[in-house]
Structure 1
Amino acid sequence: MVKVVIIGSGNVAQHLIAAFQNAPNSGTEIKLVQVYSRQIATVSHLVELAKITTEWDALMEADLYIIAVSDDAISLVDAALPFKNRLVVHTSGSVPLNALNDENRKGVFYPLQTFTKNKAVDFRTIPICLESENATDFQLLNKVAKSISDSIFAINSQQRKALHVAAVFVNNFTNHLYQIGEEICQDHQVPFDILKPLITETANKIMVLSPQDAQTGPAKRADAVTIEAHEAFLSNENHLNIYKILTQSIQHNGK
């Protein structure tokens, strides 16, 4: 049996706790034995009280310790661990493996997904990107990852950084564009819901087409008349600047 300890209580930590608790082989092959949280109440709805600790010195012996905290807190948490030569991993997309100290064996256990508290996700569909210093530790990480996901990848720190940057474009920036679209609708008393089928269809298309092949719109068509009309319509300077930058990017990509 592989014993796992999760350190943290934020979005990623809570979803990992739920995933391990709900895994088909939970308690047999892979077992979540403990959760460290500064406040018990934060995770008490996910795991029994006996498995929660608020003290570093009370951390149980385990095969794997998963640090699931904010990027800027990883080194502080790592330095507080009261043991040596155990396998310690973080869940960050942008922090390199070597950011962990040399007191323990290092690794990365990065689930590439956007997480929101109290919103359930199907963890089996979430890609988990793994990295370790040696093959033995990778085999253990792979076994643990497969217990909660069907999508596992060996990704080094540089590749993971590239994935994280790409994720900002396809997730965070795209969501911000949704917000701008909603603001434009609100300014002109148009329901944003009218756009939701379009959003869904666009997302579905890239499941079968490359983003370049799926691209449509006035910039793709080099429709100068429509582009000029849109730019004249946009009174918000920030919206206008973003429109121009993205239009130029699409046109440049088509050359």
Structure 2
Amino acid sequence: MIQVTIIGSGNVALHLIKAFKKKAEIELVQVFSRKPETVIDFVNSDQIIADYNLLHPVDLFIIAVSDDAIASVSNQIPFQNQLVVHTSGSVNIGALKDKNRKGVFYPLQTFSKSKAVDFKIIPICLEAENKNDYKTLETVAKSISEVIYHVNSEQRKALHVAAVFVSNFVNHLYQMGNEICTENHLSFDILKPLIQETANKILTLSPKEAQTGPAKRNDTQTINSHLSFLTDENQKEIYKLLTKSIIDHGKKL
């Protein structure tokens, strides 16, 4: 059994807590949280601490906090030569303090507290400084996921940037689509089958092959009609930018 302590109580931390609690091969020893009420429904009260000096030595410390807090938090762990990892997609392994052994345990997924996830299909990207620590991380990762990748810090940054494009930016476009529907007394639900089919297509086609629409066809009449319809300048500028990007990509083929 591998002993694990999680430092943090945000979205990633909560989903890891839920996943580990279901696994007999993982013993969740402690959860560090400045706000005990956020985790009290998932762990026993005597497992929750808010003082770094109350931490017990374990096989693995997982820091699941905001990116800009990782270095500070790792420095406050009152041990040496322990395995300490963070869960960030964009922070280099070197941000962790040298007094402990370093690693990264990055589950590549969008997490919301109120939305359950199936951890079995979530890719977990791992990095460690030595083979033994990597093996420990791999064992922990495989206890909750069937999709494990060895990814260094530079590759992980590239993945994180790509993830922002395919998830965060796309969701912002959903928000814009929702606003357009609302302004015109339409239900956003009408678009959901299209959203689902677009996502499903890239499971079997490359994004390039799946691209459709007026920009792909260079249908200037429809494009100009859409631009005339849009009254929000931000929406109009994003429409122009994405349309140009799609057309320019087509020229490169």
The interval holding the TM-score normalised by the smaller chain is over 0.9
Among 115, 127, 137, the residue aligned to 1:141? 137
Gaps of 5+ in 2: none
1:149 and 1:50 mapped to 2: Cα distance? Answer: 28
Residue 246 of structure 1: aligned partner: 242
Deviation of 1:34 after TM superposition, in Å, equals: 1.3
Residue 102 of structure 2: aligned partner: 106
Residue 128 of structure 1: aligned partner: 124
Residue 22 of structure 1: aligned partner: 22
Among 43, 57, 63, the residue aligned to 2:53? 57
Q: Which range moved further: 5-14 or 51-60?
A: 51-60
Residue 214 of structure 1: aligned partner: 210
TM-score, length basis structure 2 = 0.97
Q: Which range moved further: 147-156 or 185-194?
A: 185-194
- Identity between Structure 1 and Structure 2 (%): 63
1:180 and 1:118 mapped to 2: Cα distance? Answer: 23
Q: Number of paired residues?
A: 251
TM-score, length basis structure 1 = 0.97
Deviation of 1:60 after TM superposition, in Å, equals: 1.2
Among 159, 172, 176, the residue aligned to 2:172? 176
SS of equivalent to 1:103: coil
Letter aligned with residue 102 of structure 2: K
SS of equivalent to 2:61: strand
Among 147, 151, 158, the residue aligned to 1:155? 151
Deviation of 1:39 after TM superposition, in Å, equals: 2.3
CA RMSD after TM alignment: 0.8
2:21 and 2:245 mapped to 1: Cα distance? Answer: 45
2:75 and 2:237 mapped to 1: Cα distance? Answer: 44
Deviation of 1:53 after TM superposition, in Å, equals: 1.5
1:40 and 1:68 mapped to 2: Cα distance? Answer: 15
Is contact 2:57-2:79 (8 Å) kept? no
2:124 and 2:101 mapped to 1: Cα distance? Answer: 19
Alignment of 1:86-105 (within 5 A): 86-105=82-101
Deviation of 1:37 after TM superposition, in Å, equals: 1.0
2:222 and 2:206 mapped to 1: Cα distance? Answer: 25
SS of equivalent to 2:144: coil
